A and B are shown apart, each in its own frame.
Chain A
Amino acid sequence: MLEAISLTCTRGDKTLFKELSFQLPEGQLLYLRGHNGAGKTTLLRAVCGLTLPRSGEIHWERQNIRDLGEEYHRHLHYLGHFNGLKDSLTGLENVRFLAAMHGDRIADAKISDAFYQMGVEHCQDLPVKVLSQGQKRRIALARLICSRAKFWILDEPFTALDSDAVALLLEVIRAHVEQGGMVLLTTHQEVALDRSQVNEIFLGKR
């Protein structure tokens, strides 16, 4: 379970949000809503541990993530604005590298399956630089599918996706939550989940 306790974040000298607290238990999806510039990305990065909040704590399974250090990262998968893919590597090489960094031993066959599922199986052996934005995004999502992380932090994951891919991703997220995973998500899309599995935070002025 993830718990944020009295988080305050500033950007420059501007306070984005003050003393924000929330919980995200297993099997739940938390929508993060707010206008542009309200601090959604900052909050997501703070939960990842990338950004240091001005004050407040973030706890994973009742332990402060500052104390957990890199072990905390084993449980999460972050997909932000960037795809995290190297142009000169092939789709497969990219996913293999990132999986290895995450400490996951994922068989090539399973990676291929994920590529197939996201409709980019032909991109596996192509250098990423020749691919379109949509294809790169799909590869990043294929990586998400392969991930064993319980906690997904997704910042506008539907960007650059066509309607087929959107439907696919919605289903993937839904399945993840159903199986007891946790998702923290900024998006305008709606995932088909029961109201008991869904929660919402609104940042900034409505």
Chain B
Amino acid sequence: MGINWFKYASPASFYPLAGRMIPWFVWAAVVLGAVGLYISFFVAPTDYKQGEGYRIIFVHVPASWMSMWIYFVMACWAMVGFVFRTRLSHMMAKSLAPTGALMAFLALWTGAFWGKPMWGTYWVWDARITSELVLLFLYLGYIALESSIEDADRAARASGLLAIVGVVNLPIIYFSVVWWNTLHQGASIRIDKGEVTMATSMLIGMLIMTLAFWAYSVAVSLVRVRSEILEREQNAEWVAEMFAREGGHSG
């Protein structure tokens, strides 16, 4: 594409780029979210088995997918940071974590609200929900470790290593929980898309909501990484110049 990617590995050049990208993603999130919600509430048909309550999957499933995708991306950024020794990559990983944790929590919470009307209980030990819980712990562990280490470079590398170890273990953890769940099929509860006969409109609704969540995640992470850049580079010349130019308002 002719872009020198390494140019953008410098916080100084990435900062304005991120600033320009944010509004696009915010708009994308708002538009996609509006469309997705409209579809989920008004277009998708009532499920003959589960009534209106099932509509929560339009939040639950996208949140769940995003929680896993974000963790993967986070680990990738950590990997890039180790291989190329770019500080910005680690900053990107750090910025993604809170959103990923939020997605995991959202998936768990909406899963609870789905479970209640269906099976009369807020918590079920379904394979995916249980794996989601473990994923939330992985996120919390990452965030806790990163914030416990004072030196920013060391914190980035330690938490980056943890993220990589975690992402390698994620399939193993998921596999083990699925195994455990099928072994104890006595209470066979599965919050699976399969339980809801999938109309095309439902599928489209879920995909659009997923994209909306993705756009939101990107926007929020870019905002976070910009604030991280400012904090880490506060003594750098380009920061001082930027503030002088813009009279104190950041772009």
Instruction: List residues of A whose CB falls within 8 A of some B CB.
Output: 10-14
Contact = CB atoms under 8 A, between A and B. Distances in A.
Interface of B: 150-153, 232-235
Contacts of A13: 152, 232-235
Contacts of B235: 13-14
Mostly helix, strand, loop or mixed at chain B's interface?
A: loop
A148 B191 CA distance: 66
Nearest to B153: A10
Nearest to B157: A52
A150 B152 CA distance: 35
What are the nearest 3 A-B pairs in CB distance? Answer: A12-B151, A13-B232, A13-B235
Contacts, number: 12
A13 B236 CA distance: 10
Contact of A11 (B151, B233, B234): B151
B134 to A, nearest CB: 32
Contact of B150 (A10, A12, A14): A12
Contacts of B232: 13
Contacts of A12: 150-153
A14 B232 CA distance: 10
B110 to A, nearest CB: 40
Contacts of A10: 153
12 contacts: A10-B153, A11-B151, A12-B150, A12-B151, A12-B152, A12-B153, A13-B152, A13-B232, A13-B233, A13-B234, A13-B235, A14-B235
A125 to B, nearest CB: 40
Given A13-B233, A13-B235, 10 more contacts: A10-B153, A11-B151, A12-B150, A12-B151, A12-B152, A12-B153, A13-B152, A13-B232, A13-B234, A14-B235
A10 B156 CA distance: 14
A17 to B, nearest CB: 16
